[in-house]
Amino acid sequence: MDQLKKEVGDELLAIFKPELINRFDEVVLFKPLTPQDLQKIVNLKLTELQNQLKEQGYLVEFDGGVAQKLAERGFDPVLGARPLRRLIQDTLEARLSVMILEGKLHKGGKVIFDFDFKER
């Protein structure tokens, strides 16, 4: 790891002036996300959404395919898992909002999303 940090430091110095590099406290290296890491992030985000809606009186569940599909579509090799938040907003949260506004989901009601992000 020390060798890698040195190589990264040398590359940074080749691109940026030392004055800029010295303004940073530390350069942090990250390992690429594994599929297991991504699955944990997806499960965390889905649990957050469930808890948020539960506080408002709605019960939301997801079948196993939802998490898998989000993990596949919400990952970018350059951005990592950052696109995941937007994907959840555009698919699940948007659909839930419409269901609530149209009166298809009432307080105390329950909805289950399948792997195509369709409600049952």
Domain ranges in the chain are: 1-30, 35-113
Q: What's the burial of 88, exposed, middle or buried (CB within 10 Å: 0-12/13-18/19+)?
A: buried
CATH of 35-113, one of 3.90.1150.10, 2.170.270.10, 2.70.98.40, 1.10.8.60: 1.10.8.60
d(CA 32, CA 45): 19
Average pLDDT over residues 73-92: 90
Average pLDDT over residues 27-53: 92
The model carries a pTM of: 0.76
Average pLDDT, the chain: 90
Helix extents (H) in the chain: 2-15, 18-21, 35-55, 64-73, 83-88, 94-101
